[in-house]
Amino acid sequence: MKALFLPEASDYIGGSPNESLSLCKPASQSPFLQGLQQEAKKHHLPISVGVHEPSDNPTSKRIKNTLLWINANGEITHRYQKLHLFDLEMENGPNMRESTTIEPGDEILPPFDSPVGKLGAMICFDLRFPEIALALKRQKADVLLYPSAFMPTTGKAHWLPLLRARAIECTSYVIAAAQVGAHNEKRSSYGHSIVIDPWGEVVAELGGEKTDEPEVVFADIDFEKLRSVRRALPLKRRTDVYPEV
């Protein structure tokens, strides 16, 4: 059993809010998505991919940042909209306001079945908020997804520690497919796509340098290890003392 996991904003990363808006297309009209759906069906290969989609509000000047699941028949069967938006203001830069262009989602979706276990969908900046991951773990997620386009500045300091923390505290696999290198004059991404097991160990990882050819990393989801870690560390929450997430 297999599946392909692609990064956040795999369709494009715009150089300005206007460019991001102008490039955005509905799934039914996106050549990029239609191509992925055809390939998923052709190779009987489910694909997780982050894209941009128009707002449901026709007068909105913002768009959606979504994570789609394309099943082995080429059908879009799951759509998660990013909850937390990346607004960064640092002395001497870099500065970024994702909320200028992106419309936040308003719900945590239940984990869904896949050939590689029950998947819990999140996107990039959601990584900094463990409540979502804990809620998905409570709903029996086996694998937490964090497709991302982390900035190099924050990536160097926070990427690996945050991903390992989510894997360890949820005793779950983490798959984080990440954008890498320069996209335009204003924007570049940290890279380091990674798979982490429920013990917090790195199973597979790519680098942080953009190469001439696309790179892919392969990893196995070991369900026996998942069960073993959860048996050894049941992590029984004290919901008599604090609220359930």
Q: pLDDT of 23-47, one tens digit each?
A: 999 999 999 999 999 999 999 999 9
pTM for this entry: 0.95
Q: pLDDT of 191-223, one tens digit each?
A: 999 999 999 999 999 998 877 788 999 999 999
Classify the phi-psi angles of 147: left when phi > 0, otherwise alpha if psi is within -120 to 50, otherwise beta: beta
Please tell me the distance from the alpha carbon of residue 81 to that of residue 91, in angstroms, as a whole number.
30
Q: For residue 5, which of 37, 45, 32, 38 has the smallest C-alpha distance?
A: 45
pLDDT at 156: 95
DSSP string, 25-61: --GGG-HHHHHHHHHHHHHT--EEEEEEEE-SSTT-S
Q: For residue 65, which of 83, 77, 78, 47 has the smallest C-alpha distance?
A: 83
Please tell me the distance from the alpha carbon of residue 121 to that of residue 78, in angstroms, as a whole number.
9
Q: Which one of the listed residues 8, 53, 98, 103 is annotated catalytic?
A: 8
User: Per-10-residue mean pLDDT for the chain, 245 residues long?
Assistant: 97 92 95 98 98 94 97 98 88 78 97 98 98 97 98 94 98 97 88 97 92 89 97 94 91
8 in catalytic set: yes
pLDDT at 214: 85
DSSP 67: E
* Residue found under tokens 């449901």: 56
Q: Which one of the listed residues 25, 53, 64, 82 is annotated catalytic?
A: 82
Q: For residue 3, which of 67, 50, 36, 46 has the smallest C-alpha distance?
A: 46
124 in catalytic set: yes
25 in catalytic set: no
Please tell me the distance from the alpha carbon of residue 245 to that of residue 234, in angstroms, as a whole number.
16
Please tell me the distance from the alpha carbon of residue 39 to that of residue 189, in angstroms, as a whole number.
26
Q: Which one of the listed residues 53, 64, 124, 170 is annotated catalytic?
A: 124
